[in-house]
Amino acid sequence: MDYIDHVSITRHADFDAFRAAIGPRRLVLFTTKSRESAYDFRFMADDVLFFGKESAGVPAAIADSCPAKVRIPMRPQVRSMNLATSAALALGEALRQTGTLPS
């Protein structure tokens, strides 16, 4: 990957370590179980967008600890989207709303 020098990857020992690392920033969980559309939600520039596994989402205890939960609207016949596609849509909307979309 020719862009690897331009990204930072951090692994956390567990969810508690992750929460400690992000500090007071709002954790926004993307889940098919939410009723609030990501397009109606008001993102903030320092939000942390959080996604679970394609196959199972996140454990209930972790989902319950997320202060904000949103979904990406889709046709009723479609159960969910590929994780990479979901993350790209979510990030694009959050960057658009916060005026931080790179030009």
pLDDT digits (tens, 9 = 90+) for 49-91: 999 988 888 999 999 999 999 999 988 887 777 899 999 999 9
Look at residue 31 and tell me whether its pLDDT is greater than 90: yes
Domain membership of residue 58 (yes or no) is yes
The amino acid that residue 43 corresponds to is F
User: What is the pLDDT at residue 28?
Assistant: 98
| Cβ-based neighbours of 6, under 8 Å, separated by 6 or more | none
CATH code for position 71 = 3.40.1280.10
Q: Round to whole Å and give the CA distance between 102 and 100.
A: 6
Domain membership of residue 43 (yes or no) is yes
Look at residue 45 and tell me whether its pLDDT is greater than 90: yes
Q: Round to whole Å and give the CA distance between 103 and 26.
A: 25
Domain membership of residue 40 (yes or no) is yes
Contact, 25 vs 58, CB < 8 A?
Answer: no
Q: How confident is the model at residue 99 (pLDDT cuts 50, 70, 90)?
A: very high
| Cβ-based neighbours of 92, under 8 Å, separated by 6 or more | 101
Q: Domain limits at 65?
A: 25-98
Domain membership of residue 51 (yes or no) is yes
Domain membership of residue 72 (yes or no) is yes
Q: How confident is the model at residue 97 (pLDDT cuts 50, 70, 90)?
A: very high
Look at residue 1 and tell me whether its pLDDT is greater than 90: no
The total domain count for the chain is 1
Question: What is the reported pTM?
Answer: 0.89
